[in-house]
Amino acid sequence: MTEDLGKIMVIGACGQIGSELTETLRDKYGGERVVAADKCTDPDREIVSGGAYEILDVMNRGDLKALLDKYGVDTVFNLAAILSAKGERDPQLAFNVNMVGTYNVLEVSRELDVDRVVTPSSIAVFGPEVPPKETPDQVYLRPRSMYGVTKVAGELLGYYYWKKYGLDVREIRLPGIISYKTYPGGGTTDYAVAAFYDALKKGHYEFFVEEGTRLPMMYMPDCIKALVSIAEADGGGLTERTNYNVGSMNFSALELAEAIQKFVPEFTYDFSPDYRQELADSWPDSLDDSLAREEWGWQPEYDLRATVGDMLENLARKLDGDVNVDLKDPVHS
Ligand code: SER
């Protein structure tokens, strides 16, 4: 059984995930049921002109409350966040947007009696102390980034609002997200997107992590499926509420480079780790997501090969075909 989301607001709708989530929700629920909110103003962007759109800074609690009230919102998706790498450059900003922003969303939702709040947590909640392979949901959390600290606190705050006020808060721990529509901004896992762009545009990519760096990753269609599924899931079956691991695939940077090279044989690459290596090293290789599978039917669809093929096909189209890639005849090694 799935639940209807009623009137929906997506906060952070201009971002990598928010833009595609909004598009999916507009298609599924109808444009009149979905309000997008963020700070971008470019009228050429589909997100701004393709349906209801409001300018919002999630740190402004008064504006947030006025908008939720104006539209009679039942379900809030909060995607506004400063990711891990940018967050290490400016920890104060990451604290404010991620922590104060999350608090504002929860508090205003409580005040207005919103039905539910859905927000992503992240693999960044984990620190190097946890078992790196098939990391369980319930482990000791001591993240090494401000982003991770705010995500742990967001999980705990969400659980607190659920237990104390009965606010229906749902959170999933997303891995690195690969997509071609909106470029990610400021994450450690961005190399897994940038490698595709540079493979097609320059024929070469310099990874900012070591070749052996292995992280959990997910293709955007699975990410959207996970967010919509947890939002629509029968609340009675959700025991953990705010700390579900969601796994999909995992691969090393070298494995990704080799997978791209099968489609783009002249693609070359090298590895020059920078400050983001330490963040990547502090995160797990893979996740145990059995609870998400049991409680709300989580099931990813894309593996590495399917992801690489689909990414290159769509990115080549987006980049106007001005690239050297034969999608129908990948080189198998
Ligand atoms: N993609 C995020 C980052 O790299 C992790 O959740 O910061």
**Residue 327: its pLDDT value, please?**
43
Q: Which helix (H) or strand (E) holds 171?
A: strand 168-174
Cα 214 to its chain centre, rounded Å, is: 18
**Nearest partner of 240 among 303, 301, 169, 186, judged by Cα:** 169
**Centroid of ligand 1 to alpha carbon of 219 (angstroms):** 13
Ligand 1 in reach of 83 Cβ (< 6 A): yes
CA distance linking residue 151 with residue 208, whole number of Å: 24
The torsion angles phi and psi of 158, rounded to 5 degrees, stand at: -60, -40
Q: State if residue 122 touches ligand 1 by the CB under 6 angstroms criterion.
A: yes
How far apart CA 241 and CA 177 sit, in angstroms, is: 21
Rounded to whole angstroms, what are the CA distances from 152 to 105, 123, 229? 16, 10, 22
CA–CA gap between residue 133 and residue 47 (Å, rounded): 38
Whole-angstrom distance, CA of residue 10 vs CA of residue 278 = 32
Residue with the smallest CA separation from ligand 1 atom 2 is 187
Is residue 253 within 8 A of residue 276, CB to CB? The reply is no
Sequential pLDDT tens for the chain (333 residues) = 788 999 999 999 999 999 999 999 999 999 999 999 999 999 889 999 999 999 999 999 999 999 999 999 999 999 999 999 999 999 999 999 999 999 999 999 999 999 999 999 999 999 999 999 999 999 999 999 999 999 999 999 999 999 999 999 999 999 999 999 999 989 999 999 999 999 999 999 999 999 999 999 999 999 999 999 999 999 999 999 999 999 999 999 999 999 999 999 999 999 999 999 999 999 999 999 999 999 999 999 999 999 999 999 999 999 975 554 444 333 332
Spacing, Cα 147 to ligand 1 middle (Å): 8
Which entry of 103, 140, 147, 183 is annotated as an active-site residue? Answer: 147
Q: What's the 70 CA to ligand 1 centre distance in angstroms?
A: 33
Question: Annotated catalytic, 147?
Answer: yes
Q: Locate 273 and state its tokens.
A: 């780790």
How far apart are the CA of 117 and the centre of ligand 1, in A?
21
- Which ligand 1 atom is nearest residue 190's CA? 4
Alpha-carbon gap, residue 56 to 169, rounded angstroms: 21
Run of H or E including 178: strand 176-178
Does the C-beta of 287 come closer than 6 Å to ligand 1?
no
User: Can you tell me the distance from the alpha carbon of 264 to that of 308, in angstroms, rounded to the nearest whole number?
Assistant: 11
- Choosing from 17, 98, 121, 190 the residue with most ligand 1 atoms within 8 A of its CB, the one to mutate for a pocket test is 190
Q: What's the pLDDT at 324?
A: 47
**In angstroms, rounded to a whole number, what is the distance separating the alpha carbons of residues 200 and 205?**
10
**Residue 331 CB coordination number (10 Å):** 10
